[in-house]
Structure 1
């Protein structure tokens, strides 16, 4: 390859990142797979390490700073731990690559038909527009809340990080969202059982039984179950 072509290629690569900034405010800092402390740790930086940024995005609030910086290692660090010299953007905003999908027609009233209308089947492990991992129970329920209830719900609804399903009950209490043992169609079934808990969409209530729709109860797939009402707590975001 000729020298001019090599220089052009290097220039094109450098155009996608900012200058290096130092890690500070901690001895070690985790770089995560998503802009929240719920993301898995990809790598760890030490104080005074230099990192270059490819883009920045809003995420979980860390010590008053909700900005997260994506490094050239393809992971996210809270801007609180990177000395950029600014509390605002110093790089371009990260492009999630998509906008939230168009909700179904208004004829799909709450709770709507029992069917698999989730827009991301088979696209697992990427981050969805609501800041959850696709094909997880939380992503499916976030989709239903947005599409069926018309509520702009995401992982940071009303401020706190809702996180895994086993912290949705805590987030509901923090934000004043009603949570009780009384299900109604269109509310959210939630349990702390298992390593990360589980959430599902309440489709039908019959006596002491509740029918739920869910994702990832059967390995990244849609399914329905009818179980005793006592199986879940119930979060009433709108109904």
Structure 2
């Protein structure tokens, strides 16, 4: 192959991607099959990982940023999580092949599959790594926040003692974590009802109903329920 041809091919290859940028704004970031949280997770990146971009495209709005970046792994990361130094395009637009996928209903996030993936079933003695008693509702939700959202949450998240479920609302407010009456998949359902309150994981939202996954609603075991969304407050750790 002639030298001029090799140089031309190298130049063309370089033109398809930019310099590496850092992952930030989260400990773990999902890279998805499409520019939306409804896209399947292809791979994950950790904070401060370097990623190179092949193109960018408009997609689901994430924290005020509707731009998504396609990495050299062939998947999409919200531009909110990539430190490009700009809120606009820093490389060429992706060939969309049609309109970008619509965002999930209700502006929702990604709750993951509905299944009992709690690591301590039937092992209900002692304290878990998140400083909660095993098989309690708080332990299950702390596990989900860590495993599904990639957030290093524990009983002293951002400083205060989150304690029993009936004090999670106050802890969220004191630390600036959003809490409201609007459920989205992947947020925490919280109520002060009962002697210690209750928290659950929001799996689905449909109209005025919400489906939650939970532990210890039925004596130290996993269960699901679909209830009116007015049954809970909703804590948005990440979504």
Aligned-pair CA distance for 1:183: 0.1
172 and 203 in structure 1: CA distance in 2 versus 1, 3 angstrom threshold? same
2:134 — aligned with what? 134
2:233 — aligned with what? 233
121 and 107 in structure 1: CA distance in 2 versus 1, 3 angstrom threshold? farther
Q: Give the 4+ runs in structure 1 shifted more than 3 A.
A: 106-109
1:111 — aligned with what? 111
2:139 and 2:168 map into 1 onto residues whose CA distance is 13
Aligned-pair CA distance for 1:107: 5.9
1:126 and 1:206 map into 2 onto residues whose CA distance is 37
- Residues 153-181 of structure 1, C-alpha deviation per residue, up to 9 Å, x if partnerless? 00000000000000000000000000000
- What are the equivalent positions in structure 2 for 1:13-24 lying under 5 Å apart? none
2:140 and 2:110 map into 1 onto residues whose CA distance is 15
Aligned partner of residue 147 in structure 1, secondary structure: helix
1:160 and 1:107 map into 2 onto residues whose CA distance is 35
2:222 and 2:149 map into 1 onto residues whose CA distance is 19
- Aligned residue-pair number: 135
Aligned partner of residue 141 in structure 2, secondary structure: helix
When the two chains are superposed, the root-mean-square deviation of aligned CA atoms in Å is 1.6
Residue 164 (1) aligns with residue 160 (2): no
2:173 — aligned with what? 173
- What are the equivalent positions in structure 2 for 1:41-52 lying under 5 Å apart? none
125 and 107 in structure 1: CA distance in 2 versus 1, 3 angstrom threshold? farther
Residue 188 (1) aligns with residue 196 (2): no
2:197 and 2:110 map into 1 onto residues whose CA distance is 25
1:126 and 1:217 map into 2 onto residues whose CA distance is 19
Aligned partner of residue 126 in structure 1, secondary structure: coil
- Residues 64-122 of structure 1, C-alpha deviation per residue, up to 9 Å, x if partnerless? xxxxxxxxxxxxxxxxxxxxxxxxxxxxxxxxxxxxxxxxxx56993100000000001
- For normalisation by structure 2, the TM-score amounts to 0.55
- For normalisation by structure 1, the TM-score amounts to 0.55
- Residues 35-83 of structure 1, C-alpha deviation per residue, up to 9 Å, x if partnerless? xxxxxxxxxxxxxxxxxxxxxxxxxxxxxxxxxxxxxxxxxxxxxxxxx
Aligned partner of residue 168 in structure 1, secondary structure: helix
1:210 — aligned with what? 210
Give the gaps of 5 or more residues in structure 1. 1-105
1:122 — aligned with what? 122
2:88 — aligned with what? none
2:179 and 2:125 map into 1 onto residues whose CA distance is 29
2:92 — aligned with what? none
Aligned partner of residue 225 in structure 1, secondary structure: strand
1:110 and 1:150 map into 2 onto residues whose CA distance is 12
